[in-house]
Amino acid sequence: MNFIKKHTILLLGWIIFFLALQSCANRGAGPQGGPKDKEPPVLVSATPENGNTNFSAKNIILEFNELISVNNPLQNVTFSPPQKNSPTVKALGKKVSIAFQDSLLPNTTYTITFKKCIVDYTESNPFADYVYTFSTGDKIDSLQISGKIIDAQTLAAKKNYTVGIYSNLSDTAFTKTRFEKIAKTNENGEFTIYGVAEGEYNLFAIKDAGGVNYYQNKGTDIAFLDSTITPYAHLHGKVDTLWTDSTKSKYENVTLDAYNEYFPKGLILKTFKEKDIIHRLKNYKRNSRNQFTITFSEPQDKEPIVKLLSDSSFADPLLKERTSRTDSIVYWVKDSLLYNNDSLYISVSYLKTDSLGESVSQTDSLYFISPSPIVKYV
């Protein structure tokens, strides 16, 4: 009897030991916690409200329903019109803080575009593309311009390009002033410029250059439309019927939803690399006694002015001849009393590119020696 009791106690001890081991083995697994979070953050509030007019705040707070972070705000958050010192964008728990570093222009519509960069903290589920709009005046400009940027040769989509507009239609605006409104292309090369006022605009695109927002480096890729655009909106109506049953024999309510379609849309801009054009006097040569050539680095937009300095008593002493190369001009000396001289002095006035890339007037004095001096017999 004692033997059975002894072995029974021993058996119970082994059972307790194995149960304890199993408990320890499962302890690290912990609770399973349900399915993986796939829901993006939800915007709870915006302060000031989106669409605010007469805006004068120094910062904006976007509050969400969960902890969030902002991925690469310098690349993925676009401020339009661009500012010299871009606002700072920070994630603070469940909030996104946007703090302005520059003063705002009066009576101007501003847009802040978030390109799927606001994500939840745990699973990085992205909040959808979001546009926050406000105006420092009493109205919101609401027109839009959209399209796509592609490579001129490969037709590949161009992402992270800055697309901008100018109401100043001067050719020099693109190289001297910031874009008035901008957008950045997504991974498909697509863009939409929001908050555009009525008017006529030139449209350009440049490879993103770290916030410069105008064409500064002539070696960079650019794209533009060769004609101006005038944005507008077309109002549409959509009828929505609420039926009482699946047979659609009776309806309970009919609503008319109005929405705007914005134009121009579907614009295609093709990028290319502009050649760095520098105008200068490249070479000059006396080909024969009665002929000389002046060569420029690039074709001259304005006709050069060439004057004979050797002897001003001759009226119209030169005959001009264009060559097949538009950067070169051949001149013929018409009077033998002039071209029989071993030397010729002329002045040439032309447009030259200065160190700032500007075209300025330049006058050079050129000295030509005859390639075949006349032999005089005595």
Banded model confidence at residue 105, pLDDT cuts 50, 70, 90: very high
pLDDT of 17 reads: 52
Least confident of 39-53, 90-104, 211-225, 360-374: 211-225
User: How far is it, in rounded angstroms, from Cα 6 to Cα 9?
Assistant: 5
Residue 176: pLDDT above 50?
A: yes
**Whole-prediction pTM value?**
0.66
User: How far is it, in rounded angstroms, from Cα 124 to Cα 108?
Assistant: 34
Give the N- to C-terminal CA distance of the chain in Å, as an integer: 159
Chain centre to alpha carbon of residue 123: 31
Residue 85: pLDDT above 70?
A: yes
pLDDT tens profile 357-377: 678 899 999 988 887 655 444
**Range 138-149 average pLDDT:** 97
Percent share of the chain, pLDDT over 90 = 46
Parallel, antiparallel or unpaired: strands 267-273 and 143-151: parallel
pLDDT of 252 reads: 67
Q: How many residues does the chain have?
A: 378
Q: Find which of 19-33, 116-130, 169-183 is predicted with most confidence, using mean pLDDT.
A: 116-130
User: How far is it, in rounded angstroms, from Cα 372 to Cα 369?
Assistant: 9
Both tokens of 336, joined, read: 């033998």
Select from 50, 142, 54 the least CA-distant residue to 96.
50
Question: If you write DSSP's letter for every residue of 224-268 in order, what string do you get?
Answer: E-SS-B--EEEEEEEEEEEESSTT-SSEEEEEEEEEEEEES-SEE
Higher-confidence position of 301 and 22: 301
- DSSP H or E segment with residue 206: strand 202-207
Residue 32: pLDDT above 60?
A: no
**Range 286-312 average pLDDT:** 84
Residue 6: pLDDT above 90?
A: no
The CATH label, of 3.30.450.40, 2.40.70.10, 1.10.150.120, 2.60.40.10, for the domain at 143-234+264-273 is: 2.60.40.10
User: How far is it, in rounded angstroms, from Cα 233 to Cα 263?
Assistant: 6
pLDDT of 148 reads: 97
Banded model confidence at residue 15, pLDDT cuts 50, 70, 90: low
Banded model confidence at residue 182, pLDDT cuts 50, 70, 90: very high
- Domain borders along the chain are 43-135, 143-234+264-273, 281-369
Contact 332, 308 (CB under 8 A): no
pLDDT tens profile 39-53: 999 999 999 999 999
Q: Tell me the CATH architecture of domain 281-369.
A: Sandwich (2.60)
Chain centre to alpha carbon of residue 301: 29
Banded model confidence at residue 251, pLDDT cuts 50, 70, 90: low
**Range 326-344 average pLDDT:** 84
Class at the top of the CATH hierarchy for domain 43-135: mainly beta
**Range 240-249 average pLDDT:** 68
DSSP 3-state assignment of 175?
Answer: helix
Average pLDDT, the chain: 84
